[in-house]
Structure 1
Amino acid sequence: MKFLFDLLPVIIFFTVFKWGESHADSAQALISHYFSGLVSGGVITADQAPILLATVVMIVASVAQIAYLLARGRKVDPMLWVSLLIVGVFGGATIYFHNENFIKWKPTVLYWCFGAALFGGQIFMRKNLIRSTMEQQIKLPDAIWQRLNLAWSAFFLAMGVLNLYVAFNFPTATWVNFKLFGGMGLMFAFIVAQSLFLSRYMKDSA
């Protein structure tokens, strides 16, 4: 459930973009009527409307997501704050310059921030963030915790590179599909592979 909640802005982005693709004139009318003041020059074409509308809604959803947690008195994960900051900067640039290239960089910057935090924490601060997150659920040797942390760092690095490849070598619609289904699918596959790798140590510690 938490995974889906964290992914909610991305799901909303995908849904709004797909609607905008099928209703380009309506999307153009909406974005022009309500948000033209945020766009440099104030003119939005029909082909720009789907990605701009989806970006606006994703920013709103990200703010609402954190506001909901704060209103309920719940802790907001640092990941959500970082995601909000990045989507605000790159999404805002996308809207103002009506240039989709900015929002296409957003997943890569987010992935690389996560990867850098994991790698930097282990190398420079001697703090294993994966271990801090998972240690209550599973006991592992120190060497395995280090390998696991580095594996996640490498995964996020690779995901950032892959996002750029898809974003700038395929149509925007393909990138939007990859952003949700490709990213989620690869994350799931990596977690399954990790679970299979860790299963031997779970048995040994049982």
Structure 2
Amino acid sequence: MKQFIDFIPLLLFFVVFKMEPRAIDLAGHTFMVGGIFSATAVLIASSLVVYGALFFKQRKLEKSQWLTLGACLVFGTLTLVFHSETVLKWKAPVLNWLFALVFLGSHFIGDKLLIERVLGHAVTLPQAIWTRLNIAWIVFFIFCGAANLFVAFTFQEYWVDFKVFGSLGMTLLFLLGQGLFLAKHIHDADPDTSAPKPKD
């Protein structure tokens, strides 16, 4: 569920981006809504609201959420300041590669791999399996970053659609694959299924 909270601001960004540009009056001020720049402003505002609410409720944010919020604020603000959507196109690749770097760093820093820290409370696996899972996340984030970058600068008319639904689709498929992988190894590690039953 936590992974999909990150998509709320992104979905709002998509809705506003797809709107026909129009002027709206709010509190005595006129704002343009529709298109990349108003969508970017909505992305920043909704990210602050979503992660602010989470912080208020949980009294903390996960590192991945801090990274997501930070990237949104930095790239979103620069997009508005320089009035250039090119800056925003780098947000998804850079953020994905930062996540890959964090997962990679856990191989060298700390006593546990990052994926084991995240899932270790729920499942017990051999260290070799944790290593394979952690590497899979590294590869996934590198691939997602590269895919976002390729689409953003090659198929520019589709990059927002891919940023929202492509990223969501890739994440769902990867999580499904990870679930199947974990189910197999949990089943193999289950003493009730792997140990021979005593004969009567």
TM-score range normalised by the length of the shorter chain: 0.7 to 0.9
CA distance in 1, matches of 2:5, 2:182: 26
CA contact (8 A) 2:23 2:31 kept: no
Which of 107, 113, 137 matches 1:122? 107
Which of 146, 149, 164 matches 1:180? 164
Name the TM-score, length of structure 1 as normaliser: 0.83
Q: Which amino acid aligns with 2:4?
A: L
Moved over 6 A (4+): none
CA contact (8 A) 1:108 1:159 kept: yes
More off after superposition, 65-74 vs 156-165: 65-74
Which of 121, 124, 141 matches 1:136? 121
More off after superposition, 152-161 vs 6-15: 6-15
CA distance in 2, matches of 1:88, 1:148: 30
More off after superposition, 76-85 vs 66-75: 66-75
Pair 1:156–1:175, CA change in 2 (3 A): same
Pair 1:73–1:153, CA change in 2 (3 A): closer
Determine the structure 2 residue equivalent to 1:161. Answer: 146
The structure whose Rg is larger is 2
CA contact (8 A) 1:27 1:53 kept: no
Which of 49, 54, 77 matches 1:69? 54
CA distance in 1, matches of 2:179, 2:118: 15
The CA RMSD over aligned residues, in Å, is: 2.3
Determine the structure 2 residue equivalent to 1:199. Answer: 183
CA contact (8 A) 2:23 2:30 kept: no
Name the TM-score, length of structure 2 as normaliser: 0.85
SS at match of 1:193: helix
Determine the structure 1 residue equivalent to 2:86. Answer: 101
CA contact (8 A) 2:24 2:31 kept: no
CA distance in 1, matches of 2:74, 2:30: 23
Determine the structure 2 residue equivalent to 1:8. Answer: 8
More off after superposition, 191-200 vs 106-115: 191-200
Q: How many residues align?
A: 188
Structure 1 residue 124, shift from structure 2 partner: 4.1
Determine the structure 1 residue equivalent to 2:45. Answer: 60
Structure richer in helix, relative to its length = 1
Determine the structure 2 residue equivalent to 1:40. Answer: none
Alignment gaps of 5+ in structure 1: 36-45
Determine the structure 1 residue equivalent to 2:198. Answer: none
